[in-house]
Amino acid sequence: MLVLEIEYLTGVVRAANDRGDGADWPPQPDRLFSALTASWAARGERPEERKALEWLEMREPPSLRYCNATERAVVPVFVPPNDFETKSPHDLADPAWLAALKAGKGLSSAHKKDRADSLGVVPEFRAVGSKQPRRFPASLPPDPTVRFVWSEDPDAATLAALDALARDTSYLGHSASVVRCRALRMDTDTAPDGLHPPRRRVYPGRLVELVESHDRQVRPAPGADVRPPADPAPAAPASIFGADWIVFAHAGEPRPDAVAGAIAGKALLRTVLSGYGSNPIPDWVSGHAPDGTPLTTPHLAAVPLLDAGWDHSQGRLMGLALIPPRTVTEAVARARDPDAKTVTPADVAVLDQFTNLERALVRALDNDADKDKRDRDRLRLRLPGGLVWPLAWDTEGTKQSLRARLYTGPANTWATVTPLALDRHPKKDGDDVEIIADACERIGLPRPVTVVVHKHSAHRGAPSARASGHAPPWTGWRRPDSVANRRLTHAVLRFPESVTGPVILGAGRFVGLGLCRPLPGEDDA
């Protein structure tokens, strides 16, 4: 049997999936075939090597031997704009510019893949003279070696040609994913175990397709799916909050106590607004309509992220996260998705607003006059009482407590990590249960079938809703003025079906009170 062995020499695999919103692991046969084709072209398009590639594309898809990898968090990296003239969404009405775009004129090689004739969507627009956000998904496998195994044996000439192409292949995926490759024949008795089927494959004619795409300077389509698409499962009910978070991690003392998490969330929202300067602020960012009245529709929230829910959790405040509304994150995903069937001007406008939010955060990082030059990547969050908390825009997602997926579900049973502030004052026993059920409907979820309220959280390490009777007042939760007089309580909620979070409930939901996580062992809850 034929084995093509790939070793990632740095231990980091930088390659994006087809949507561009996550890492592509394990590498698929179509990615490997494209890399071998690039080596064939760079080596002078030798006939015997072309014949070997044509032999390979005729084979059944290989099996893969790999280890599961940890995906590094996808966060924006700000880089200078590329070397083509910046255009705004209004320029889409300019026939001359569209013709130039379709012809590939004025585009750098990094952006030729975004041409309108090959992707059918609006490319991301970059402003001249300012750094722009890019995302570089990556995987971290414990074993950096991947083997592609075909059941058929090539003849000696084909094997030699494939091995020559493999040994001249220096990277797979992003150019920073440096690899060592080789092709070898292996007996069935010594074949690697633990083989897995691929998701994509190559097919007869793939080599010609890649050559034609290169000649036309368009990005080729991914290889064919190995398995037919399954019928989509019904989507679980989802809250109004999005799953694409902007996370800031604790980066130095002094660290505020967890009970100041809502105050810290409010301070982060103020810092976001300060980064806009005199620029217009979208309603969903400010939380206010143009006339200054509070929005009744979803808007940006800030939540504290606690060391809670683990066996040895201590309830420390690990960082903060900004959570845009789900309507915003879905519009951004559509505008960035090269396979999206419909991208509306409204989606493009929201993408532009989201990019401006990231720019505002960069300005907030850069504009601190008291900041040491060594801490340019840190945010000095100023809290009441003169406390200044250093935060870093999280670029790795290495700490479990900072990962958004802990809070997104789907799950049937949820429990508060931070106490929720009731939307109104209970007038009789049982009112608090109804108030919390109403709060679930207010964020787009069904009414829970069970609500249990308690002073303490069901998640280990989370601070109680109220200080003990003999404790000084400062040990209790400190809150913004808008919810200072609201009753606080923890709760466990069971829904009639799985729901998708984030689940953030109550009057203080936009400053992080009422933040829930799925409850482990929910069947016994």
- Are 15 and 144 in contact by the 8 Å Cβ rule? The answer is no
Q: Note the residue count of the chain.
A: 525
Helices (H), 250-402: 261-275, 283-286, 326-336, 345-366
pLDDT tens track for 294-341: 888 899 999 999 999 888 888 899 999 999 999 999 999 989 887 777
Q: Quick one: tokens of 251? A: 């980066």
The pTM for the full model equals: 0.59
Helix (H, G, I), strand (E, B) or coil at 8: strand
The residue among 499, 276, 254, 513 whose CA lies nearest residue 391 is 254
Amino acid 449: pLDDT: 95
Q: Are 385 and 496 in contact (CB under 8 A)?
A: no
Rounded to the nearest 5°, which phi and psi values hold at 465? -70, -30
Residues 6 or more apart whose Cβ sits within 8 Å of residue 252: 378, 390
Give the CATH architecture of domain 2-69+138-225. 2-Layer Sandwich (3.30)
Question: What is the rounded distance in angstroms from the CA atom of residue 432 to the CA atom of residue 225?
Answer: 51
For the chain, domain boundaries: 2-69+138-225, 76-135, 246-524
Closest CA relative to residue 104, chosen from 95, 94, 113: 113
Name the token pair of 56: 């390979």
Q: Is 427 exposed, middle or buried (0-12, 13-18, 19+ CB in 10 A)?
A: exposed
DSSP bridge partners of 140:
70
**Residue of 201, 262, 178, 255 lying closest to 60 (CA atoms):** 201
pLDDT tens for residues 143-167? Answer: 999 999 999 999 999 999 999 999 9
Low-confidence ranges of the chain (pLDDT < 50): 83-94, 97-98, 101-102, 104-129, 369, 523-525
Nearest CA among 79, 77, 75 for reference residue 130? 79
Q: What is the C-alpha separation between 348 and 72, in angstroms, rounded?
A: 27
pLDDT of residue 135: 64
